[in-house]
Amino acid sequence: QVQLVESGGGLVQAGGSLRLSCAASGRTLSDYAMGWFRRAPGKEREFVGVISWVGDSTYYIDSVKGRFTISRDIAKNTLYLQMNSLKPEDTAVYYCAARRYSDPVSFRGGNGMDSWGKGTLVTVSS
């Protein structure tokens, strides 16, 4: 089983940037579709983006396209979420998740994940 630990959250002004990291242990990331979800205060969990287990494709929700980028470093067994041009509506707890050999479409539903991190809080002030 893969274990996930997020880091990099914090307080940033609107228009600023943050990079979240998700360190994996126990198994290599190369077998897993990896992605990010978020939960804003008072709202349900929302899919943000995913990178395929092959590592050749990424998918994002429309509200973050062009601003957020998912990448991974297999050597470091770490997933990243680069967030630019942050908006107050991006404020949420961000969670990384892993699902072995998953296709991106089913990953977006958030069900059947092999592992979840505990989350890292991102607060964007206006």
The mean predicted confidence, pLDDT, of the chain is 96
Cβ-based burial of 58 (10 A; exposed 0-12, middle 13-18, buried ≥19): middle
User: What percent of the chain lies above the pLDDT cut of 70?
Assistant: 100
pLDDT digits (tens, 9 = 90+) for 2-32: 999 999 999 999 999 999 999 999 988 899 9
CA dist., res. 114 & res. 99, Å (int): 5
pLDDT band, very low/low/confident/very high, at 99 (cuts 50, 70, 90): very high
Question: For residue 117, which of 45, 31, 69 has the smallest C-alpha distance?
Answer: 45
**pLDDT of the residue at 69:** 98
Question: For residue 4, which of 121, 113, 122 has the smallest C-alpha distance?
Answer: 113
pLDDT band, very low/low/confident/very high, at 1 (cuts 50, 70, 90): confident
